[in-house]
Structure 1
Amino acid sequence: MDLRGQDDILLAFRNDPRMMEILEAAQTLNLKDWWICAGFVRSKIWDIIHNFREPTRIDDVDVVYFDKTNTDKANEKGYEQKLKQILPSVPWSVKNEARMHLINGISPYTSTQDAISKFPETATALGLTFANDGSLHLTAPHGVEDVLNVIVRPTPYFLESSDRMRIYSRRLKQKNWKATWNQVTYLVE
């Protein structure tokens, strides 16, 4: 499959029964402003670009949502347990972005999409959800060009701060994406 833009990315996910099963499981929680994001989206795209026959193992499936009315961390763990009952083999991670600014020591996010826009890398600042009409929806606050060109660069938010850039540099070493996807190019290391 040739990926040229958002429509091709959405088609790739719609045509993958396992990915759709995971998205549909997350949808059952009826969370406010929910998305499955980051590596779940990026890895699928890069696997296709690299012509992998089998999907790359994902360390966790990040389900993020935004609910200011209840920021108790225990809720997130409860949601993870519900998802594990539906799909026990999936490594679920559920986070309420309405409280994550406290963990990250920054100003509060205004929405889940705002939080995604402030992820470390443009190629990871991606998320999928279902729109009200049931169609699959992709958010890509920094576009899809970097992920489609297998380029890793910091988001503008991370470029603003030397502390954040240190986090970004550590992530590049820890993630070591080039070991899995040999076409990866780091533009800022």
Structure 2
Amino acid sequence: MLGRLPLSEQLDGLRAVLTQNEILTDVMTRAAALELPGWYMTAGCLFQTVWNVATGRPPTNGIKDYDIFYFDNTDLSWEAEDAVIKSGQALFADLPAEVEIRNEARVHLWYEQKFGVPCPPYESTESAIDCFAATTCCLGIRPESDGGWRVYAPHGLSDMFNLLVRPNPVLAPREVYETKAARWKHQWPELTVLPWPN
């Protein structure tokens, strides 16, 4: 069980599992060409690939999109972000998956309207990943020039490998966590979902 191995072996295991999702590795390779500042592949496409492989499902099962976060606070206009999004749409147009690209330097401009709570401006892509609704999901990866991967996992990898969903009550409201967790539990019944703290 990968979740019980030392971290160095978990990182090897993570790469071995994620590379089974050919769409993910293709997106990641192409994304590097965009040269976005501080970018990571992140969110569902990562942990859901792990859950799929751990439960014997096809690696791409149930993954609705592939998220790329980057951080550019030099231009917070929608037009600048939209230009990046359009470049990505052209780059990934032939893939059988939706790729979403978001500038995390702009999240505070729209978050409260969407989720009902204010979001302080992020300082980096990593600080955005820190705020996912579940600690299990706080993960970002990108290829490095030496062929290795940069992995950002502030809460480690064990919960993800152990199919454990743990709340992260730092920003997202309780109902966001519970809605996501219910959807994941429906798709991956093997998950153990921990309750939101009182």
Instruction: Report the number of matched residues.
Output: 182
- Larger mean CA deviation between 26-35 and 16-25 belongs to 16-25
Partner of 2:148: 135
Cα deviation digits, residues 64-111 of structure 1 (max 9, x gap): 011110122233333232223222233121111111123222211111
If the length of structure 1 is used for normalisation, what is the TM-score?
0.86
Cα deviation digits, residues 159-181 of structure 1 (max 9, x gap): xxxx72233223334xx112221
- Does residue 188 of structure 1 match 2:195? yes
- Judge conservation of contact 1:98–1:108 (CA < 8 Å) in 2: yes
Aligned partner of 1:41 among 43, 46, 62:
46
- Judge conservation of contact 2:24–2:66 (CA < 8 Å) in 1: no
- Does residue 148 of structure 1 match 2:161? yes
- Does residue 91 of structure 1 match 2:104? no
SS in 1 for 2:101: strand
Offset at residue 146 of structure 1 (A): 1.2
If the length of structure 2 is used for normalisation, what is the TM-score?
0.82
Cα deviation digits, residues 27-67 of structure 1 (max 9, x gap): 11100000110001011100110011352132221110111
Aligned partner of 1:22 among 27, 37, 59:
27
SS in 1 for 2:86: helix
Distance 1:99 1:27 in 2: 21
AA of the residue aligned to 1:37: T
Structural RMSD (CA): 2.0
Partner of 2:181: 172
User: Are residues 17 and 60 of structure 1, via their aligned partners in 2, closer, same or farther at CA, if it must alter by over 3 Å?
Assistant: closer
- Judge conservation of contact 1:63–1:95 (CA < 8 Å) in 2: yes
Aligned partner of 2:130 among 108, 111, 117:
117
User: Are residues 53 and 95 of structure 1, via their aligned partners in 2, closer, same or farther at CA, if it must alter by over 3 Å?
Assistant: closer
Distance 1:149 1:54 in 2: 17
- Judge conservation of contact 2:21–2:60 (CA < 8 Å) in 1: no
